[in-house]
């Protein structure tokens, strides 16, 4: 009797320990987490970090699944390709819920998910790439996109021909779509042809269909930084940031020291690059090119008179850096076209803004330190005093400009290369050709661009003989 009782005691202990281990597991199963990301509006560059963040959070807690609630007409192909790669690399199941429509780029995102569910009346397909004018892209681009759709469909065990037919109207599928028509699947057709696991009315029905009823649903919204990225990478906003940033630096280059315009220009350009870096469009190469370009433009404006090689190279580096930052990898023809239009618009704004700055801004009281406010003619504004000396007439002649080219004067400060000189008994802001001219040296104006006067050092004139030194008879 003793041995059976001992065996029964050990058995009860084992059962008790097993129940302690099994209970947390059962509790965990009944409290599974599902993360939901909303894919709506136009798919842009800010959508990529958002989807990656949601997948990362789900992976960290070993969530049961990630659901993409999709309702979008499409958007940028490069953004869709980046999201597609993130879905294929995800370590948690990804479920695409086509909540009414998944056209163009969003169709690729849906196909890249592990499973697809479509709402009643929902559609998926119509993914032909187009250029900036809305016309079909070149055959090279269409072929590349078609291959992407095909490979993803094959990886997820779906009919590759159907994926290709969504991109290229030349692909015909008997009983579904004829040649010359682009394929778009309804919710019923998608279920019939294996592009949907079911038709569900809402997320609750989807969870039940996936065996996740009762799971904890965590809706993840766009963060502030992700919203800012979507805003900054908007083509119109990006063009404005570029234009105002450049004009702020230009206004600073035309004035001594460093003040508000330069700081504002740097902040705007930094904001532009911050957004495009977070969107994973560019690295530091774009920043380096823009900095080099601005440095060359500054050298052209401050050191080298006129506008030549340094200025042209600077503009080329500046716009190349911006172009690289805006197109990124995997860009389609439409992305190149869109970026070109943005830069052309920004250039137009910069040209108009530069003319306004150099023409009108210096005359405002707040910005009078930017350049000389007077237009001088030799002998103008000088009055003869009773003792024979001359003094400066206080009248300011700003209505017209008279060139000072050829006029000579004295450097009142060291020119490093900018400084102040006295010409025709007036204080004039000047800049040298690039060298250093010390205070007190004679100078001559060799270029007069109204907002900037370029001077060079000349030999001091021979002193006139005075009456004291004249020969005595």
Pick from 237, 206, 189: nearest CA to 345: 237
Which has more pLDDT, 270 or 252? 270
| Res 181: pLDDT | 92
Q: Quick one: CA dihedral 50, 128, 73, 111, positive or negative?
A: negative
Average pLDDT value for residue range 210-236? 85
Interatomic CA distance for residues 375 and 403, integer angstroms: 8
Interatomic CA distance for residues 309 and 306, integer angstroms: 10
Residue 283 has pLDDT above 70, yes or no: no
Prior bond of 417 cis (ω within 30°): yes
| Res 106: pLDDT | 93
Interatomic CA distance for residues 329 and 127, integer angstroms: 20
| Res 52: pLDDT | 92
Average pLDDT value for residue range 434-440? 80
Q: What is the CATH number of domain 395-457?
A: 2.40.50.140
Query: With bands split at pLDDT 50, 70 and 90, how would you rate the model's confidence at 10?
Result: low
Residue 263 has pLDDT above 90, yes or no: no
Pick from 77, 39, 26, 33: nearest CA to 58: 33
Residue-range domain boundaries for the chain: 14-221, 226-367, 395-457
**Phi, psi (deg, nearest 5) at residue 464:** -75, 145
Kindly report whether the global pTM for this prediction surpasses the value 0.85.
no
Interatomic CA distance for residues 333 and 131, integer angstroms: 6
Interatomic CA distance for residues 218 and 203, integer angstroms: 12
Interatomic CA distance for residues 134 and 146, integer angstroms: 18
Residues facing residue 34 across a β-bridge: 65, 217
| Res 54: pLDDT | 95
| Res 303: pLDDT | 67
| Res 302: pLDDT | 66
Residue 205 has pLDDT above 70, yes or no: yes
Interatomic CA distance for residues 473 and 131, integer angstroms: 95
Residues above pLDDT 70, as percent of the chain: 73
Residue 8, CA atoms < 13 Å, CB-side half-sphere:
5
Give per-residue pLDDT as tens, 80-126: 888 999 999 999 999 999 999 999 999 999 999 999 999 999 999 99
Query: With bands split at pLDDT 50, 70 and 90, how would you rate the model's confidence at 380?
Result: very low
**Phi, psi (deg, nearest 5) at residue 379:** 85, -10
14-221 carries CATH number 3.90.226.10: yes
| 3-state secondary structure (DSSP) of residue 54 | helix
Burial of 354 (0-12, 13-18, 19+ CB in 10 A): middle
* Dihedral, 336, 339, 343, 346 alpha carbons, nearest 10: 160
């Amino acid at each position: 009797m003793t041995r059976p009782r001992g065996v029964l005691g050990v058995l009860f202990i084992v059962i008790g320990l097993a129940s302690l281990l099994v209970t947390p597991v059962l509790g965990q199963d009944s409290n599974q987490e599902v993360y939901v990301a909303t894919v709506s509006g136009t798919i842009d560059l800010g959508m990529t970090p958002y989807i990656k963040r949601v997948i990362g959070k789900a992976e960290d807690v070993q969530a049961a699944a990630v659901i993409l609630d999709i309702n979008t007409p499409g958007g940028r192909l490069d953004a869709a390709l980046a999201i597609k790669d993130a879905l294929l690399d995800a370590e948690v199941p990804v479920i695409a819920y086509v909540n009414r429509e998944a056209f163009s780029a969003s169709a690729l995102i849906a196909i890249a998910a592990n499973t697809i569910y479509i709402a009643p009346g929902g559609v998926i397909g119509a993914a032909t790439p187009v250029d900036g004018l809305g016309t079909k892209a070149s055959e090279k681009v269409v072929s590349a996109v078609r291959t992407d759709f095909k490979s993803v469909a094959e990886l997820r065990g779906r009919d590759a021909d159907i994926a290709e037919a969504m991109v290229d109207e030349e692909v015909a599928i008997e009983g579904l779509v004829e040649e010359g028509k682009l394929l778009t699947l309804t919710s019923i057709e998608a279920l019939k042809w294996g592009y949907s696991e079911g038709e569900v009315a809402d997320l609750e029905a989807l969870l039940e269909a996936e065996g996740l009823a009762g799971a904890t649903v965590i809706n993840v919204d766009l963060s502030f930084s992700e919203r800012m990225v979507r805003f900054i990478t908007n083509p119109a906003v990006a063009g404005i940031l570029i234009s105002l940033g450049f004009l702020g630096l230009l206004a600073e280059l035309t004035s001594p020291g460093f003040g508000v315009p330069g700081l504002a220009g740097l902040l705007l350009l930094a904001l532009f690059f911050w957004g495009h870096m977070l969107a994973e469009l560019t690295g530091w190469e774009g920043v380096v090119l823009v900095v080099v370009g601005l440095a060359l433009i500054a050298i052209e404006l401050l050191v080298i008179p006129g506008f030549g090689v340094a200025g042209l190279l600077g503009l080329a580096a500046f716009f190349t850096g911006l172009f690289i930052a805006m197109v990124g990898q995997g860009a389609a023809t439409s992305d190149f076209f869109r970026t070109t239009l943005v830069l052309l618009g920004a250039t137009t704004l910069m040209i108009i803004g530069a003319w306004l700055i150099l023409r009108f801004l210096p005359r405002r009281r707040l910005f009078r330190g930017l350049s000389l406010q007077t237009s001088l003619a030799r002998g103008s504004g000088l009055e003869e005093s009773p003792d024979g000396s001359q003094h400066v007439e206080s009248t300011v002649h700003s209505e017209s400009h008279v060139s000072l080219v050829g006029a000579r004067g004295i450097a009142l400060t060291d020119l490093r290369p900018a400084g102040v000189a006295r010409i025709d008994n007036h204080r004039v802001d000047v800049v040298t050709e690039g060298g250093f001219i010390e205070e007190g040296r004679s100078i001559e104006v060799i270029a007069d661009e109204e907002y900037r006067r370029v001077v060079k050092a000349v030999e001091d004139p021979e002193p006139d003989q005075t009456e004291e030194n004249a020969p005595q008879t």
